[in-house]
Structure 1
Amino acid sequence: MGTQGIQIPGSFEVPDIPSGIDILRKLPYAFILPEVICGGWVWILVAASRVLIPVSQGWVMYVSVSSFVFSLILLMVYLFGFHKNNCATWRIVDVIYHGITAIFYLSAACLQANATIVYEQNEGNVFNFNRVTYHVDSAASIFAFITTLLYVLHSFQSYVH
């Protein structure tokens, strides 16, 4: 009575990462453009608000600006096909980058939400409360959480793919 056992394929072919406009049509790479857009909105909104807690909102600015730049570079690499020589390595880079950025963005989103809450709770006490600044901070918090979700989805889809 012989046992079959598990048969391992001789070679494993890594599917190609699309290039050009096809990058915007295939998951998980279709998430890159919304990540860049929402991350840009976080950057713009935090820069437009009054920085009341420099340490927290400085971290939010660092994460949003650096993620914007690196995601834009990654998008250009995929659009222009610079990744074609070694797709397997670029897949690993994609998973690691988006996973780390998702963690950074989650911390930045929580700090931005905390800054918004502190600003609202000190209405009239320490800061000159301005309803417009509060709404700008709230919008920055919302976009930071949306961007976090996009990076998490991208990282998870890249890992599963």
Structure 2
Amino acid sequence: MAQTTQPTGSLPSGVGICTTAPDILYIPELIFGGLVWILVASTLVVPSNPQGYVMFVSVFCFVMTFLWMVLFGCGAHKSRVGWAATDMALHALAVIFYLSASVSLAKTTIDFQNDDTNFKNYQIDIAAVVFSYVATLLYFIHFFLSVIRWKTF
């Protein structure tokens, strides 16, 4: 029988995900995504549609990133081909989601700039916007490095 070699040599598993180039970004992505989730959840939801979308994006990306990190940590990717492309696609989706959510949250925050009655919520929304853009940047860097890793296969 002929053996087939699977191109999983550059995909880390176990503790290796905390030391390799794109995968080390899982932890900051979880931290900043969790901060966006917490900050948006703690504000007064007056325009529920944009902030509801931001909540969906932050929770979805947080859960998917956590599950993806656990799968990589357990070494589940060693059994099949295509994990590098799936990693790239997951982070591309996260970039698109977070960028649209960040713009929406920033627009909503700007609309409530002159509302003196909810100044505390305005400040929390500003922090959520900043952390949302940081999460977007982290996911974009991870996507870019995943593209480079995918091309080496």
TM-score between both structures, scaled by the size of structure 2:
0.89
Q: SS in structure 2 opposite 1:15?
A: coil
Q: What is the RMSD of the two structures over their aligned residues, measured on CA atoms? A: 1.6
Question: In the aligned structure 2, how far is the partner of 1:97 from the partner of 1:48?
Answer: 28
Residues in 2 aligned to 1:113 and 1:138: alpha-carbon distance in whole angstroms: 8
Structure with higher Rg: it is 1
Q: 1:54 to 1:120 in 2, by over 3 A?
A: same
- Cα-to-partner distance string for 1:57-104 (whole Å, 9 max, x where unaligned): 111000000110010000100111111112x41111100010011011
Aligned length: 145
Q: Assess if the C-alpha contact under 8 Å between 1:94 and 1:158 holds in 2.
A: yes
SS in 2 for 1:17: coil
Kept in 1: contact 2:8–2:78 (CA 8 A): no
Q: Which has the higher helix share?
A: 2
Aligned pair 1:133/2:138, yes or no?
no
- Normalising to structure 1: TM-score of the pair? 0.85
Paired position in structure 2 for 1:47: 41
Query: How far apart are residue 113 of structure 1 and its match?
Result: 0.7
Q: Is the 8 A contact 1:52 1:115 kept in 2?
A: no
Unaligned runs of 5+ in 1: 1-10
Which of 7, 15, 35 is residue 29 of structure 2 equivalent to? 35
Structure 1 residue ranges, 4+ long, deviating more than 6 angstroms after superposition: none
What is the CA–CA distance in structure 2 between the aligned matches of 1:14 and 1:38, rounded to whole Å? 29
Q: Say whether the 8 Å CA contact 1:52–1:119 is kept in structure 2.
A: no
Structure 2 residue aligned with 1:147 = 135
Distance 1:96 1:62, change over 3 A: same
Counterpart position of 2:61? 67
1:12 positional shift: 9.7
Q: Counterpart of 2:87?
A: 94
